Homo-oligomer: A and B are copies of this chain.
């Protein structure tokens, strides 16, 4: 059965809604923030810590994993979930965004995109079919179509061309997915290698690694589930899903053309691409709202690469269900923390003797134990632990923000929550 999306609450004032997205590796409560685990790791955090933080779904980058360690190695290891010992859902991007960001290294043709590896300069080709094939090999729960993402600002002609190409690629992706789905990691016959496992223990994560069947759909989910994670009505595990990506920059007419063409192909979810690429924030919100309105109510909507904590609230108010962004993790490594009192630059000399926690309003493991003075000391002396702790806190801040958003939706108080956040900003 295809991926299934249930809407369980709809705000009366805004377009915000709360839902449940069922995937092969369990259900995801939406709206959801997906931390970025580029190369099969959220930099600095262990998978058990991500679980404890309440991360429901990770984003991994196809481009990076394709180059190292290679999608075939990951497929042969039983897929990315097993390779990185992560039992919950994974969404992979198509690889196109990275390839095209590497400017001089990428060349877009009708067939696909040629690029050079940033590691060794070797030449590679990524087509819509290849992007699907790689993501199926990785064993992702949600697979993205290859799209052409253009810079901001771009001419109408450039945008038009990108929309047309993205549409044709979406059609080819859909066909490739239909052919390839069912031939991904779950059927790759990994049983033979399992005599290697000799450790007896009872924790679920090890079972994931030790038991080939854990990657085969089964009616009993192995992942510890929050109460809301109920089996789908038919008690069947969904197959991976393919999401289409709406392009068109800030041009509403092009956004409409793009959305309509994709709707004709009937994807299981729709992403908004080409936003948060430099356009003014008000325009981003406006185009996100306009585009979300074009999409079917009963399918999940994913705003790619967005954004700040404020963007999460504003995005949800405009009908967005899914977000990803490197901001909480990358900023953390650069000693910038998100707190209830705004950003805190952790290297700042003013914290040298500050014994308060990073965020007095935060209950995360870092704020419960460590002081600003200690965190500053770690960053000033270049200690790894600084990045580890700041990443933990920032992810907690993002995930907690999203939990508050969802809770307000479930209790019918989102509009109030939304206006309170607006006043603060």
Contacts and interface: CB of A to CB of B under 8 A. Distances in A.
A199 B360 contact: yes
Nearest to A119: B381
Nearest to A49: B46
B369 A69 contact: no
B353 A43 contact: no
B43 A371 contact: no
A367 to B, nearest CB: 7
Interface string A200-228: 01010110010000000000000000000
Interface string A364-382: 0101111101100110110
B377 A69 contact: yes
A305 interface: no
Nearest to A383: B41
Interface in A58-74: 64, 68-69, 73
Contact of A381 (B39, B380, B383): B39
Given A46-B365, A193-B355, A384-B388, 20 more contacts: A39-B383, A40-B377, A41-B383, A44-B384, A45-B385, A64-B381, A68-B377, A69-B373, A73-B352, A83-B377, A84-B374, A85-B369, A85-B370, A85-B374, A196-B355, A197-B355, A199-B360, A199-B367, A199-B368, A203-B368
A48 interface: yes
B199 A83 contact: no
Given A77-B353, A356-B196, A385 B69 contact: no
A371 B69 contact: no
Contacts of A46: 365, 385, 388-389
Contacts of A307: none
A206 B371 CA distance: 10
Given A44-B384, A384-B387, A388-B388, A355 B209 contact: yes
Interface residues of A, number: 54
Interface string A77-94: 110000111000000000
A181 interface: no
Nearest to A367: B199
A77 B353 CA distance: 7
Given A39-B383, A360-B199, A374-B83, A369 B45 contact: no
B369 A206 contact: yes
A206 to B, nearest CB: 5
A69 B240 CA distance: 51
A43 B352 CA distance: 20
Interface in A346-368: 352-353, 355-357, 360, 363, 365, 367-368
A73 B353 contact: yes
A371 B85 contact: yes
A48 B367 CA distance: 13
Contact of A385 (B41, B64, B197): B41
Nearest to A360: B198
Nearest to A202: B368
User: Which of A73, A77, A78 counts the most chain B CB atoms within 10 A?
Assistant: A77
A404 to B, nearest CB: 18
A76 interface: yes
B378 A205 contact: no
A388 B392 CA distance: 14
A408 interface: no
A164 interface: no
Contacts of A39: 377, 381, 383
A354 to B, nearest CB: 8
Contact of A369 (B47, B64, B363, B389): B47
Contacts of A197: 355-356
A20 to B, nearest CB: 27
Nearest to A47: B369
A73 B354 CA distance: 10
A374 B198 contact: no
